[in-house]
Structure 1
């Protein structure tokens, strides 16, 4: 880094704000570019073909977005470990949730991932059409969510869920929220394993309570690594306790910096 442009300098602060704008605008442009195609193709390409195309388009779009963040916004991503899951068949992928970027990082590496999303995100005009084409699942009503996830798993998809149900408040001091039993119930109903992912950020950027207009502290480092893989749960309550203990243990060490 040049001696004239250090993280504590005014020019660097200006750059951080510009990088934030570039990142947000880039994501909006990528989503808007896919929106009319998703609206046009979804009625024509029904079933598995349309869903797989939708998931692949999201993966490629997010890969492009991350390239922009790497090239223009001083972001560094260590997420290649996720690639090992691509050909390992149906599973529930359970990750901690420190930032809005988590799902972007994970789905950028998995061509057949199905995200469990909040209902309001599914209804968002920017993201909704693409998410529906990809066969993503609303998180309510709960029974419908479980049945939809089980169907996706039976058709070979990998279901991505954040068992905290919301972003982690107070990250990184508070590494993980208490978990819901949703991941355990889905995996038990479908008879599939649960693969954990450990998500680490150098900053709580876009975490719980972080406003969109607040610039990140750059450079931003993000890492996603594989955690433990659990057998299909038999007792969702006991399994959830074990899953939470595993995530807390994995996140107790030094954070990405």
Structure 2
């Protein structure tokens, strides 16, 4: 590599570091701005009104955040297929979980989405108030989680779940937990599969938070099959896992015509 090439490579690496800081900092700032309003509204508003406002604001905030990523951070996102789910009524949305960005990508397009979240995130000072206002579901106990998920679906929400339980450790898919099948059986609501595909495993389980991305970062959301709820949650879990193993891609290589 000649001097010009080395300079261009160093300049691009500097931009990747800057883009990483813009991305992480802007998300933190958006959450911080909404935090005091979410805390106050959680106590002042009736539950139904509060959760409707909370979910809509989160969807808007995430969409604004993704606009920052596409404008300043060389991220190329193709999420248009998620828009087909917006007016489809209650659904359990089951997605693979390659990155910390996954919930942000899905919820940005679904204003009545409810996430199943780890208790540590629900109690996080920066994230917890917004999640509680939106009436998200804790995953700290199987029976309460299933009951609360069934209640949210009964109210018309769309439940976002990652059936692996956490970010993927062994690509393309880790083993599924039985929770999703149990919720589908108890609620009678269909499971819509979604595949999130990234050009690199950025912010995956083995990607340190402050390791710079490899830009441009391409990501798309692809709708898969819809599984109707059945009486055998074990069989449903096995069928879903087999389908994800067949369809999921460890790394997506976008074509030159991708957006």
TM over 0.5: yes
Contact 1:5 1:12 in 2 (8 A): no
2:100 aligns with 100
Q: How does 1:117-196 map to 2 (within 5 A)?
A: 117-170=117-170, 174-196=171-193
Say which of 235, 240, 243 aligns to 2:240: 243
Secondary structure (helix, strand or coil) at the match of 1:168 reads coil
More moved, 50-59 vs 209-218: 209-218
2:257 corresponding residue in structure 1: none
Cα distance in 2 for partners of 1:54, 1:185 equals: 27
**Where does structure 2 lack aligned partners over 5 or more consecutive residues?**
255-259
- Provide, for residues 30-88 of structure 1, a one-character-per-residue CA deviation record: whole Å limited to 9, x for no partner: 00010010011111112211101000000000011000000000001001100111111
The CA RMSD measured in Å over matched residues stands at 1.6
SS in 2 for 1:239: helix
Q: Does the 8 Å contact 1:95/1:161 carry over to 2?
A: yes
Instruction: Give the Å deviation of 1:149.
Output: 0.3
Deviations 1:181-232 (A, max 9, x none): 1111111101110000011011111100221111111000011110100111
Give the corresponding residue for 1:39: 39
Q: Per-residue displacement from partner, 1:152-172 (whole Å, max 9, x unpaired)?
A: 0011101000000010114xx
CA distance in 2, matches of 1:56, 1:5: 46
Q: Which runs of 5+ in 1 are unaligned?
A: none
Q: Who is 1:228 aligned against?
A: 225
- TM-score under structure 1 length normalisation: 0.94
- SS of match in other structure, 1:143: helix
Q: What is the Cα deviation at residue 255 of structure 1?
A: 1.8
1:255 aligned onto 2:229? no
How many residues in Structure 1 have an aligned counterpart in Structure 2? Answer: 251
Q: Distance in 2 between matches of 1:133 and 1:248?
A: 35
Evaluate the alpha carbon distance shift between residue 224 and residue 8 of structure 1 in structure 2; reply closer, same or farther with a 3 A threshold.
farther
SS at match of 2:43: coil
Asked if structure 1 preserves the Cα contact closer than 8 Å seen for 2:199 and 2:251, the reply is no
Q: What TM-score, normalized to structure 2?
A: 0.93
Over 3 Å counting, the alpha-carbon distance change for 1:254 and 1:209 in structure 2 is: closer
Aligned partners of 1:7 and 1:218 also within 8 Å? no
Q: 2:200–2:252: 8 Å Cα contact kept in structure 1? A: no
> CA distance change for structure 1 residues 6 and 96 in 2, over 3 Å: closer, same or farther?
farther
**Alpha-carbon distance between aligned partners in 2 of 1:154 and 1:128, rounded to the nearest angstrom:** 24
Report if the CA contact (8 A) 1:98-1:208 is conserved.
yes
